[in-house]
Structure 1
Amino acid sequence: MNTTGRAGRPKASSRETLAEAACELFLEQGYDATSVADITQRAGVSRSSFFNYFSSKGDVLWSGVDARIARAVDALDALGPRADGASVRAILAGIVHDFEPDPLALALRNSAAMGLQDELERDTGVRHARLSAAVARAARGAEIDVVRADILGAAHATAVLSSLRVWAEEGAGQGSPDAVLREALGLVYDLPWSI
């Protein structure tokens, strides 16, 4: 059985190869000037290989975080009436736990050089809305009123996404996003889960 891609790369590394090629090109020529064709040519894989892993060039940056957010949303939805501040924070901590430098961290740290400021702002908003809504649903499931639930959702989502951004901007090798999130959630503790 042939386990190599068109350029002789093992299939298992295609995702990483594409992400690396995309980030190199974003740094060299900017995000807007980089096409999917540029990325696949640099990576030595076919266009269809790109779309096996990513839905768009922006997805290259977010796919790792999106998978973590999806798991967190599922876990938050499963809490039901058992949702409380501690269980929600534990689930959210899973988003950043053992997070390694990846394309998103590189993009956050080099957003100006890559020409990604607007893209990152818009895409962060999408992830914020998804995470905020899931936390708010968990809060409402625990019979917290709608306004407080929405505020808790927004505050917790902001803590997670801000932590990843600050960690990346400070230099991903300088500490852990877990520590930054713990500090950020400390600010949210002033907004109690229940009255």
Structure 2
Amino acid sequence: MRPASRAGRPRASSRETLAEAACELFLEQGYEATSIVDITRRAGVSRSSFFNYFSSKSDVLWSAFDARVDAALVALARLGTDADGPAVRAAVEPIVHAFAPDPLALALRNASAMGLEQELLRDTGLRHARISSAVAAAARSAGIDEIRADILGSALATAVLSSLRVWAEQGAGQASLEAQFDHALRSIHDLPWR
């Protein structure tokens, strides 16, 4: 009986290996100067393996966060006419709950060294728009007027993304992202749901 051959890295570790390789390269040579080929060489996997896990270099940074946002958007859409402040917060809060230091946190903390300032600004704006739009839609479903709904959506999206940025910049893992988010929400207390 022949031993089973092992082709490539174990599937469970390839995603993490690629992310680690990408972050190392972003720190060493900058985001723009790093190609997907550079990342796959460093990780010791094929280019097709990269695309099994990520759609782009940017996705290396944002994929875990985006998965959380996707889940929150589903939860927000399910609220329908039952949307209110506590229900919306409960739908959005899992985005920041138990968020461990990851490539995005490393990028936020080292944006200048990685040459990521503009990329992060653009990509943060896209996430802000997604969260804001979903919260505003939930508010409108509950009967809140357009302008107030848009303001609430933008405020909650800003609370999520600002909390994440400040937490990462202060040293992810050194403090609680949930506490940062609570602080951000208290900062917008003058915008009650109704």
TM-score with structure 2 setting the length: 0.96
Mapped contact 1:96–1:164 kept (Cα < 8 A): yes
Residue in 2 that maps onto 1:104: 104
Instruction: Give the gaps of 5 or more residues in structure 2.
Output: none
1:137 and 1:173 mapped to 2: Cα distance? 33
Match of 1:172 in 2: 172
Could you tell me the TM-score, scaled by structure 1's length? 0.96
1:59-70 correspondence to structure 2 within 5 Å: 59-70=59-70
Residue 46 (structure 1) aligned with residue 41 (structure 2): no
Deviates more, 1:83-92 or 1:26-35: 83-92
Post-superposition Cα deviations, 1:81-124, rounded to whole Å, max 9, x if no partner, equal: 00000111112111000000000000000000000000000000
Q: Is the 8 A contact 1:40 1:50 kept in 2?
A: yes
Runs of 5+ unmatched residues, structure 1? none
Give the match for residue 163 of structure 2.
163
- Distance in 2 (CA, whole Å) between partners of 1:49 and 1:79 is 38
Q: Return the letter of the residue paired with 1:193.
A: W
Q: Superposition pairs for residues 128-143 of structure 1, below 5 Å?
A: 128-143=128-143
**8 Å contact from structure 1 (residues 5, 11) kept in 2:** no
Percent identical among aligned pairs is: 69
- 1:113 maps to which residue? 113
Deviations along 1:115-164, whole A, 9 cap, x unmatched? 00000000000000000000000000000000000000000000000000
Cα offset, 1:173, TM superposition: 2.1
**Per the alignment, in what secondary structure is the counterpart of residue 186 of structure 2?**
helix
- Structure 1 CA distance for aligned equivalents of residues 7 and 119 of structure 2: 30
Matched residue, 1:75: 75
Deviates more, 1:183-192 or 1:104-113: 183-192
Q: Distance in 1 between matches of 2:79 and 2:178?
A: 22
RMSD of the TM alignment (CA)? 1.3
Letter of the 1:101 partner, please give it: P
Give 2:168's aligned amino acid.
Answer: A
Would the aligned equivalents of 1:4 and 1:11 in 2 still touch at CA under 8 Å?
Answer: no
Q: How many residues align?
A: 192
Kept after mapping to 2: 8 A contact 1:3/1:10: no
